[in-house]
Amino acid sequence: MKKNKFLLPYKCQIAGWIILPVSLIAMTLLLNLFLGKISDTAMRCCIILDMILGGLSLMMIAFSEEKSEDEFIEHLRGKSLAIAAGITFTIAIIWFIFLITYNFYGTPDMADTGTMMVYNALNLMSSVFMMFFIYIITLKTNLAIYKWRCNHEK
């Protein structure tokens, strides 16, 4: 049976699951222990590096093969991706509408173009991360449900 050629090997998924908590713990430590103790530039660099690491681990989890990859898992992948895209797109639109409304009726400092650009960039970045998160959660939940149902079949 033909396999998806764009997927990474299963080992990458394991590596991703190891790197993800490490990046989350590193971020927590950075924000709690080192905030104000190191220079702003160093802090910014560390946070950016940590976010890249986190994003990379999410990509490794999302785009790696399962132990037994077949057409049904491919079908679940497509379904999960569609769900994740739908939810992320809806939230992004709501966030965008909120920003526009706030810009018109909110405090004067929010009307600043620079602030709006920062918020829009934040929105875009969080959307990408959120999409990966929702995709992974949906796919893994679906797989777990089918596995559970299989094990409880007479």
Partner 1 sequence: MKNNIRVERAIMRISQQELADIVGVSRQTIYAIENGRFIPSTELALKLSACFGKTVNELFSLD
**Calpha distance 13→2 (Å, rounded):** 21
Number of residues that bind partner 1 (CB under 8 A): 13
Distance CA 58, CA 133 (A): 7
Per residue in 89-122, is it b (16+ CB within 10 Å) or e — as a string?
eebbeebeeebeeebeeeeeeeeeeeeeeebeee
Interface residue with partner 1, options 28, 71, 125, 137 (CB under 8 A)? 71
**Interface segment toward partner 1; rule CB under 8 A; list 42-50, 87-95, 104-112, 139-147:** 139-147
Evaluate whether 23 touches 54 at the Cβ level (below 8 Å): yes
* Pick 1 or 35: Cβ nearer partner 1: 1
- Distance (Å, rounded) from C-alpha 63 to C-alpha 66? 9
Q: Which one of 8-16, 52-60, 65-73, 127-135 is the stretch in contact with partner 1 (CB under 8 A)?
A: 65-73
Instruction: State yes or no: residue 37 binds partner 1 (CB under 8 A).
Output: no
* Cβ–Cβ < 8 Å for 64, 8: yes
Q: Please, what is the minimum distance in Å from the beta carbon of residue 72 to partner 1? A: 4
Looking at 52, 75, 96, 111, which residue binds partner 1 (CB under 8 A)?
75
Burial class for 139, CB neighbours closer than 10 Å (0-12, 13-18, 19+): buried
Kindly state whether residue 44 participates in binding partner 1, applying the rule CB under 8 A.
no
Q: Which of 34, 45, 70, 112 binds partner 1 (CB under 8 A)?
A: 70
Does position 146 bind partner 1 by CB under 8 A? Answer: yes
Under the rule (CB under 8 A), what is the footprint of partner 1? Answer: 1, 68, 70-73, 75, 143, 146-147, 149-150, 153
